[in-house]
Structure 1
Amino acid sequence: MSEHPTRRATSPPARALRTAAALLPLGLAGAHIGPAATWLPAVRLPLFPRLAGTGAGHHVALTFDDGPDPVATPRFLDVLDGLGVRATFFVLGEHAVRHPGLVADTARRGHEIAVHGWSHDRPWRPALVREREGVARTARAVHDLTGGRPRWYRPPYGILTSPRWLAAHRAGLRPVLWSAWGEDWRADATPESVHALVTAQLRGGGTILLHDSDRQSAPGCWRSALDALPGIVGDCREAGLAVGTLGEHGIG
């Protein structure tokens, strides 16, 4: 007996629909997490130099994540004052509103305040509304506490997803990651290891990532970053490189 003509005509489209339905979650997941590939230096540095924070060749941008911290951040501010260096601090909104005076003081001392999100959430599940609200809420807090509108956004863990890209765009913020970091968040980090790692990765036009808080990392690890700062800044200056904020960095 021959196959029913209607069944023969509709079976291929039906199979195609079932295949599409099965692949849809994979497609959505790829769209959500695909931009996170920029976390990899081998992807970010050659293909997305602006995202890596590549600026003027005579300059290095110094940035800090995860603050403000009422114990650690003031010590960084004092060391930076002594070095005559200004930096960009990517703050978490939930901590900024708990320590408004510290955020205001950081800005008064000439540093740049940027957005690190409201909290240090992991990004794996799509959450467009949460990301959009958290980034916007933090940007408003920074404006209220400093009188200036933030320009930059760095996502927690440095992982950009589609919702995070869209949240930054909607808030008028530019995503910036980094080109050199000291892995100062590790429990076994030392001032020497932080210094060596940054020096090995850094070139003129680069952006350095350090942390002025240990809330998201090993207890007390910020001390390694703090003690490494004079050597890092000294090396940059010996190489003829100015050290400053992202706003001074000349990102194209």
Structure 2
Amino acid sequence: MSLVPGRAWRTAAVLLPAGAAAAHIGPAATWLPGVRLLFFPGLAGSGPRRHIALTFDDGPDPVSTPHFLDTLDGLGVRATFFVVGEHAVRHPELVRETVRRGHELGVHGWTHDRPWRPAFARDAAGIARTVSAVHDLTGRRPRWYRPPYGILTASRWRAARRAGLRTVLWSAWGRDWTADATPASVRARIAADLRGGGTVLLHDSDHHAAPGCWRATLAALPAVVQDCREAGLTVGPLRDHAPAGTGPRGRYPRRPAP
């Protein structure tokens, strides 16, 4: 005879998957700026108060990324580019050129997918594959991970830890992936949240955004850097920023079960 009544079994069958799903997607709450900045400053990329970390997602893109590299050269600024693995292996020379010009590479996943279902094996394989690709192409091992869409899940965080990467989101962004983005709107959005010690998120590609939106970002970039400098802030890559609490055992919204 069963020790648990049939109704209890049915209830458990519903609650257990629901609990697993909640544990998986719960960390995505860090996407909310208020949650991230208040409770998990490491994930927000908080660093030295006189420095701004400048980061770009979604490349490399042979159409747009070279323009960003040229503009950053002209500004005397280096940045961190979070690359999508499948794009990196398609454009190896652009990856090497980005590093040759003094920029840093981070991992943005092998593909740019949304993680609604737990898939640790898939996440671990994709992140590790991207780490290997960057290392093989440049001879340098990346240190940073930023999940696609900024959606951090338990499996993605565990996968990044397993790969020895530090997860970093952002504290200011330009909403530059939208069709209605303009140089003025990108600059204004960043300026609204610009604080010393912050990490700025922009995009050097429209692979996963509105076609041509990168042009607004590119046009806004000199003004964004100027705003930082006029505020007495230096601008550089995450390696010069070292956000606190983002190491493999740094603070995290919820530690998943092993």
Q: Scaled by the length of structure 1, what TM-score is found? A: 0.94
**Aligned 1:177-192 pairs, distance under 5 A:** 177-192=169-184
- Rg (Cα) greater in structure: 1
Match of 1:28 in 2: 20
Deviation at 1:14, TM superposition (A): 5.1
Match of 1:45 in 2: 37
Match of 2:212 in 1: 220
1:121 counterpart (109, 113, 127): 113
Match of 1:69 in 2: 61
Over the matched positions of the two proteins, sequence identity in percent amounts to 72
2:11 counterpart (19, 23, 30): 19
Match of 1:142 in 2: 134
Match of 2:250 in 1: none
Deviation at 1:251, TM superposition (A): 1.6
Q: Which runs of 5 or more residues in structure 1 are unaligned?
A: 1-5
Deviations 1:69-94 (A, max 9, x none): 00100000000000000000000000
Kindly tell me the number of residue pairs found equivalent between the two proteins.
Answer: 244
For residues 6 and 36 of structure 2, the distance between their equivalents in structure 1, rounded to whole angstroms, comes to: 41
Deviation at 1:18, TM superposition (A): 3.4
Q: Which runs of 5 or more residues in structure 2 are unaligned?
A: 245-258
Deviation at 1:196, TM superposition (A): 0.3
State the superposition RMSD in angstroms. Answer: 1.3
Match of 1:200 in 2: 192
Deviation at 1:162, TM superposition (A): 1.1
Deviations 1:21-77 (A, max 9, x none): 221111011011011111111111100000000000000000000000001000000
Which segment drifts farther, 20-29 or 179-188?
20-29
Q: Scaled by the length of structure 2, what TM-score is found? A: 0.92
**Aligned 1:145-184 pairs, distance under 5 A:** 145-184=137-176
**Aligned 1:231-246 pairs, distance under 5 A:** 231-246=223-238
Deviation at 1:15, TM superposition (A): 4.4
2:87 counterpart (70, 92, 95): 95
Structure 2 counterpart SS, 1:62:
strand
